[in-house]
Chain A
Amino acid sequence: MHKKVTNELNFWHRIYVPEVIRGIWITSVHFFTNLGIHILHVFGMAKKHKGMVTFQYPEDPRPPAIRLRARHRLMKRANGTTRCVACMMCETICPAHCIYIVAEEDPDPRIEKRPKVFDINLGLCVVCGYCVEACPEDAIRMDTYIVETSSYSRDGMIITLEDLMNHDNQDMYPRH
């Protein structure tokens, strides 16, 4: 036999006043604990406790999750050229059709193509990460942790090949 789960109220729930007092007790405990912590902060004490679960955003940004998908970047080879071979895989899979690639011949005879134009319209991007999955060269990644993408015009939301390559290839981004 299962224990029957009911939503029925017993007498003490029904007269409501004890439940009100219990609720006020819970909220008051939060209120006075946080008030005490904030007062202690004024005197420079109890810095370990924040007294809140929110982040004061521009001054105190929230630490990003390790697998956060953020703005894209294109990885580089050891000689500084892009790893992208303009295979159009990412452009094809992109559900938002926001990648635009124009290929050109690569001067290196061992490599067939390289991108001449590589635009991503961040205003359309749905941050799904499919492009990263599709890339056979591990050329495109979304690990810059840049999430503050804003612009005063729609054109400003388009990032180009230079923007995508504009990161130094040192391990400034944590590896997954």
Chain B
Amino acid sequence: MNEYLIIALKIVFVLMAVLSLAAILTWLERKQSALMQDRIGANRADIFGLRAIGLFHIIADSLKMFLKEEFVPPGAQRFLHTVAPLMSAFFALSVAACIPFGKLILDGQTIYLQIIDLNAGILYLIAMMSFSIYGVFLAGWASRSKYSLLGALRGASQMLSYEIAMGISLIGIIMIYSTLSLREIVYAQGELLFGFLPAWGVFLQPVGFIIFLTAGMAETKRVPFDLPEGESEIIGYFTEYSSMRFGLFFLTDFIEVALVAMLMSVLFFGGWNIPYLQDTGFVFPWGGSLAMSPLLASLLGILAFGVKVVFFCWLQLTIRWTLPRFRYDQLMKLGWKFMLPLAMANVVATGLVLVLLD
């Protein structure tokens, strides 16, 4: 009974964490872009004159989404048109199931803030991220609109191209830590290299990290890679969507930003690990230590994971508001002619180093 309760609590925690992070990202994106462009950003929504630096815009936006008319264009496939945004959001959210948020050590008992620890965790997350193509493509196909279809085609080909580079960039990680389970990867990153350097993925797989970052940004379909959405010309696969159905697509984008940030922290930046922090406190390689209770150490770990995730969200938004968009041929060239060979070379190089070190 107790176990089921814990699992239910975990699911609630993960859903709340991911969804509220995505909601806050909508606000953060407006404010951050404003500050980067010497503006002040959305600050008008208020409750009794209280503006709270624009945070109420999240509520105002979602209210607006819910109150708008739901329109299905005549000639559209009603069922698929309705199901597409649900699929999009569902698959994005289900990636979150295998992400280890941290561990909580209570009275010597360890509770992992992770819904399931699959022994094929990486495969699961790649599969779930690939499924999000279906939402995009069904939306474009079912709307029976040229613009949606164009957006969907662009989206599908882009996601397919970058999916491959992303998958191959993770092979290096799998080879080094020789496991597919995300929890064990995080544990392996708690070790030290040469006695002082934390064994984080970014130090062992810098090329893999850059490829993963690029492919992850392409997965979220935002600006340097926003051809499926192309806000300035074709509007993209959700042209024919209104109200909360559009809202779901919109939210999916931000959920994916949050997820890519989480995956980058888990796979390349040590997840909940803080350098030199063990369950019993800090142990520095140059001698000296700082003892603390395991509960405090685990809470610090969860905090560290949060900080890493926020940092990567910030990084993604910064890139989104800094770079201009790629042309379509440049996008395909980058994906197939540059990233894919680079990812493969990375796998070969990693393999060679591993064999030589054996």
Q: B39 — which chain A residues lie within 8 A by C-beta?
A: 52-54
Q: Does B38 contact A (CB under 8 A)?
A: yes
Q: Which of A9-25 contact B (CB under 8 A)?
A: 17, 20, 23-24
Q: Out of A31, A51, A52, A56, which one reaches B318, CB within 8 Å?
A: A31
Whether B322 lies near A23 (C-beta < 8 A) is yes
Question: Residue-by-residue, is B300-331 near A (CB-CB < 8 Å gives 1, otherwise 0)?
Answer: 00000000000000000011011100000000
Q: Given A17-B210, A20-B323, A27-B318, check contact A56 B40 (CB 8 Å).
A: yes
Whether B35 lies near A35 (C-beta < 8 A) is yes
Bound CA–CA A29/B35 (angstroms): 10
Whether A30 lies near B319 (C-beta < 8 A) is no
Which range contains the number of A residues in contact with the other chain? Answer: 10 to 19
Whether B323 lies near A30 (C-beta < 8 A) is no
Whether A52 lies near B40 (C-beta < 8 A) is yes
Q: B32 — which chain A residues lie within 8 A by C-beta?
A: 31
Give A158 Cβ to nearest chain B Cβ, in Å: 32
Give A9 Cβ to nearest chain B Cβ, in Å: 12
Q: Which of A39-56 contact B (CB under 8 A)?
A: 51-54, 56
Question: Residue-by-residue, is B256-274 near A (CB-CB < 8 Å gives 1, otherwise 0)?
Answer: 0000000000000000000
Q: A17 — which chain B residues lie within 8 A by C-beta?
A: 210
Majority secondary structure of chain B interface residues (helix, strand, loop or mixed): helix
Whether B318 lies near A54 (C-beta < 8 A) is no
Give A24 Cβ to nearest chain B Cβ, in Å: 5
Whether A30 lies near B38 (C-beta < 8 A) is yes
Q: Does B110 contact A (CB under 8 A)?
A: no
Q: B35 — which chain A residues lie within 8 A by C-beta?
A: 30-31, 34-35, 38
Q: B210 — which chain A residues lie within 8 A by C-beta?
A: 17
Q: Does A81 contact B (CB under 8 A)?
A: no
Whether B318 lies near A34 (C-beta < 8 A) is no
Q: Does B37 contact A (CB under 8 A)?
A: yes
Closest B residue, CB atoms, query A20: B323
Q: Does A169 contact B (CB under 8 A)?
A: no
Whether A52 lies near B38 (C-beta < 8 A) is yes
Q: Given A17-B210, A31-B32, check contact A54 B38 (CB 8 Å).
A: yes
Question: Residue-by-residue, is B38-74 near A (CB-CB < 8 Å gives 1, otherwise 0)?
Answer: 1110000000000000000000000000000000000
Closest A residue, CB atoms, query B319: A24
Most chain B beta-carbon neighbours within 10 Å: one of A20, A24, A31, A38? A31
Which range contains the number of B residues in contact with the other chain? Answer: 10 to 19
Bound CA–CA A56/B323 (angstroms): 28
Whether B319 lies near A31 (C-beta < 8 A) is no
Bound CA–CA A56/B322 (angstroms): 25
Q: Does A92 contact B (CB under 8 A)?
A: no
Q: Does A28 contact B (CB under 8 A)?
A: yes
Whether A27 lies near B321 (C-beta < 8 A) is yes
Give B301 Cβ to nearest chain A Cβ, in Å: 27
Give B230 Cβ to nearest chain A Cβ, in Å: 21
Bound CA–CA A82/B323 (angstroms): 59
Q: Does B36 contact A (CB under 8 A)?
A: yes
Give A83 Cβ to nearest chain B Cβ, in Å: 44
Give A25 Cβ to nearest chain B Cβ, in Å: 9
Closest B residue, CB atoms, query A25: B322
Q: Which of B336-358 contact A (CB under 8 A)?
A: none
Q: A20 — which chain B residues lie within 8 A by C-beta?
A: 319, 322-323
Give B326 Cβ to nearest chain A Cβ, in Å: 10
Q: A51 — which chain B residues lie within 8 A by C-beta?
A: 38, 40
Whether B323 lies near A31 (C-beta < 8 A) is no
Q: Given A30-B35, A34-B35, A35-B35, check contact A23 B40 (CB 8 Å).
A: no
Whether A30 lies near B36 (C-beta < 8 A) is yes
Whether A24 lies near B38 (C-beta < 8 A) is no
Q: A23 — which chain B residues lie within 8 A by C-beta?
A: 322-323
Bound CA–CA A31/B319 (angstroms): 12
Whether B38 lies near A53 (C-beta < 8 A) is yes
Bound CA–CA A158/B319 (angstroms): 50
Closest A residue, CB atoms, query B35: A34
Q: A53 — which chain B residues lie within 8 A by C-beta?
A: 38-39
Bound CA–CA A26/B323 (angstroms): 11
Q: B37 — which chain A residues lie within 8 A by C-beta?
A: 30
Task: Please give me the 10 A-B residue pairs with the lowest Cβ-Cβ distance, nearest first.
Answer: A34-B35, A23-B322, A27-B36, A27-B322, A53-B38, A31-B36, A52-B40, A31-B35, A54-B39, A30-B36
Could you show 13 A-B contacts with beta carbons less than 8 Å apart? A17-B210, A23-B323, A26-B322, A27-B318, A27-B322, A28-B36, A30-B35, A31-B32, A34-B35, A34-B38, A51-B40, A52-B34, A53-B39
Residues of B within 8 A of A (CB): 32, 34-40, 210, 318-319, 321-323
Given contacts A28-B36, A34-B38, A52-B38, 10 further A-B contacts (CB under 8 A): A17-B210, A20-B322, A20-B323, A24-B318, A24-B322, A27-B318, A27-B322, A30-B38, A51-B38, A51-B40
